[in-house]
Structure 1
Amino acid sequence: MDHSSSESGVRCRKCRNILYRGLSPSSSREMQCCSTMNELIPVNEEVTEENAPTLPEWLTKCLDKGNWDRGKLLCPHCEAKVGCFGFTKGARCQCRTSMVPFIYFIRSAVDIDNCSFYSPSTTCRDISGGGVVPCGR
Structure 2
Amino acid sequence: MYQCKKCRRVLLCQEQVIEHTPGEADSEFDDMFKNMFGEVNKNPGEVNQCTSIFVEPLSWMNEAMEDDVSEGKLLCPKCQAKVGSFDWSGSYCSCGSKIVPAFQLQMSSVDVITEEEE
Alignment partner of 1:19 is 2:21: no
Corresponding residue of 2:51: 39
Alignment partner of 1:62 is 2:64: yes
Q: State the AA in 2 paired with 1:19.
A: L
**Structure 1 position 24, deviation (Å):** 5.7
Q: Relative to 1, partners in 2 of residues 1:93 and 1:11: Cα closer, same or farther, differing over 3 Å?
A: closer
Any runs of at least 4 consecutive aligned residues in structure 1 with deviations exceeding 6 A, and if so which? Answer: none
Corresponding residue of 1:72: 73
SS at match of 2:63: helix
Greater relative contact order (Cα 8 A, min sep 6): structure 1 or 2?
2
- TM-score normalized with structure 2 length: 0.62
| Gaps in structure 1 of 5+ consecutive residues | 1-8, 48-54, 116-123, 125-132
**Structure 1 position 74, deviation (Å):** 0.4
- Distance in 2, Cα, partners of 1:25 & 1:76: 18
Q: Relative to 1, partners in 2 of residues 1:99 and 1:30: Cα closer, same or farther, differing over 3 Å?
A: closer
- Distance in 2, Cα, partners of 1:61 & 1:87: 15
- TM-score normalized with structure 1 length: 0.55
Query: How far does the alpha carbon of each residue in 1:39-74 deviate from its partner, in whole angstroms, 9 at most, with x for none?
Result: 11110x3x5xxxxxxx33x21222224x25100110
SS at match of 1:61: helix
Corresponding residue of 2:92: 92
Alignment partner of 1:107 is 2:107: yes
Q: State the AA in 1 paired with 2:48.
A: C
The percentage of aligned residue pairs carrying the same residue is: 31
| Gaps in structure 2 of 5+ consecutive residues | 24-46
Q: Relative to 1, partners in 2 of residues 1:34 and 1:73: Cα closer, same or farther, differing over 3 Å?
A: same
Higher helix share: 2
Q: Is the 8 A contact 1:34 1:93 kept in 2?
A: no
Q: Is the 8 A contact 2:3 2:110 kept in 1?
A: yes
